[in-house]
Amino acid sequence: MRKTEISELDEKIVAALERLSHVLRTLLWEEAVESRLSPIQIQSLIYLSSHDEKLCRVNQLAQEFGLTPATMSDAISSLEAKGLLAREPHPDDRRAQTLRLTAKGRRSGAKLSRWSDPLKEQLRQFPLEERERALVFLLKLIESLYRAGIISVARICLTCRFFRPNAHRDSRAPHHCALMDKPLAERDLRVDCPEHELVA
């Protein structure tokens, strides 16, 4: 393949990712209009619904979403005013606060987490093998972006010290997680692992 053909291929991949990004932004914005919350408030509620409290601080959320702590704090204050979350002193650090969803916030987070369902419905039309290949490609791209310093958070198997790629001969589950001590199929690879520990 010539250099120009490779360049054109890369441009097409970037254009396709940009188009998908537009779809995700549109779906999230539609949910924002319906719920009367901003996109970042929706993402924050969903994040807090599914992460351990050690990852539920304003600075952690700011890093997660690529925002300044001040911008993130404004979004959190708005959610707090709406009775969706509360700030609690962290037991190990008096200067830090842990963010906890209220009962109302948990209900909202569960409802809002369905914002991407239309995209998932389309994904189900494709064979499982194609979806697995797509997942592996996207995880490798995330890993590459993380290593290049373009994104700051990547709690994926490929960047974890417990991940052993191609450790098993079984093609259905070739990888291994040393933390769980179990083989992993490609569909088992995690995009956001709560037990993730960055490889040295």
Flag whether 174 is in a domain.
yes
The pLDDT of residue 200 is 77
Of 155, 163, 168, which is closest to residue 180 (Cα–Cα)? 163
What is the per-residue pLDDT for 73? 92
Q: Which of 84, 100, 119 is the last residue of a domain?
A: 119
The residue among 89, 119, 149 that closes a domain is 119
Provide the residue range defining the domain that includes 70.
Answer: 3-119
Six token digits for residue 45: 């509620």
pLDDT recorded at residue 29: 95
Decide if 79 is inside a domain: yes
57 and 98 Cβ atoms separated by less than 8 Å = yes
- Residue 176's pLDDT band (boundaries 50, 70, 90)? very high
Number of domains the chain contains: 2
| Structural domain includes residue 162 | yes
- Upper half-sphere CA count for residue 103 (Cβ side, 13 Å): 0
> In this structure, are 17 and 93 located in the same domain?
yes
Q: Is 36 helix (H, G, I), strand (E, B) or coil?
A: coil
Please tell me whether residues 46 and 131 are part of one structural domain: no
pLDDT-derived band at 189 (thresholds 50, 70, 90) equals very high
Is pLDDT at 5 greater than 90 in this prediction? no
Confidence at 1, pLDDT banded by 50, 70, 90: low
